[in-house]
């Protein structure tokens, strides 16, 4: 049962999310002429034998993990995820904790969910049941595809 306090909190969060600047990707409605920005570094075409942290070299996993962690954390902040899920992903009255997601998710499924939370939830009975615990639906984060991928990968690390 939704209490008046929960409803008011949900309305406040919805108003804050609506007031935040959008980070729309190309092709979104209303984004004509808008540039897509990403906090992720550009992809490189490094070949085996390249610098440490490059794909195919020793230390690549450590470099990729550091880049991924920074990009995922930046996306978590840019998407205002902490408003519902907490600064440390501990969850709260508006959203669940985001720990141990690898029990029920893989990165690709999580990216698809983040790209269309309501559409994905309609096809997943587990999510439909969990959603009843919270006063509002999960909004689609205003992030680029690259940021969504970094966020999903980062969340899967916990």
Dump pLDDT digits (tens) for 70-124: 899 999 999 999 999 999 999 999 999 999 999 999 999 999 999 999 999 989 8
154 vs 34 pLDDT, higher one = 154
**For the chain, domain boundaries:** 1-7+58-158
- What tokens appear for 12 in the block? 């406040």
Residues whose CB is less than 8 angstroms from the CB of residue 9 and which lie 6 or more positions away in sequence, other chains included: 93, 94, 135
Q: What are phi and psi of 92, to 5 degrees?
A: -175, -155
Query: What local confidence, expressed as pLDDT, does residue 19 receive?
Result: 46
| Model-wide pTM > 0.95 | no
DSSP conformation class of 46? P
Distance CA 49, CA 98 (A): 37
- Superfamily (CATH H level) for 1-7+58-158: Cytochrome c-like domain (1.10.760.10)
Query: What local confidence, expressed as pLDDT, does residue 150 receive?
Result: 95
Spatial contact of 85 and 79, defined as CB atoms under 8 Å apart: no
């Amino acid at each position: 049962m939704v209490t008046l306090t929960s409803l008011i909190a949900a309305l406040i969060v919805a108003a804050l999310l609506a007031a935040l600047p959008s980070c729309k990707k190309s092709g979104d409605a209303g984004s004509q002429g808008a540039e897509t920005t990403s906090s992720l570094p550009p992809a490189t075409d490094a070949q085996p034998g390249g610098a440490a942290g490059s794909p195919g070299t020793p230390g690549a996993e450590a470099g990729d993990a550091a880049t991924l962690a920074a990009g995922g954390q930046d996306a978590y902040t840019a998407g205002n995820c902490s408003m519902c899920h907490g600064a440390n992903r501990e969850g709260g009255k508006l959203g669940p904790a985001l720990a141990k997601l690898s029990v029920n998710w893989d990165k690709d499924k999580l990216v698809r969910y983040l790209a269309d939370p309501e559409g994905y939830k309609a096809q997943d009975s587990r999510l439909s049941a969990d959603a009843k615990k919270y006063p509002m639906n999960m909004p689609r984060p205003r992030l680029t595809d690259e940021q969504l991928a970094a966020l999903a990968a980062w969340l899967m690390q916990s």
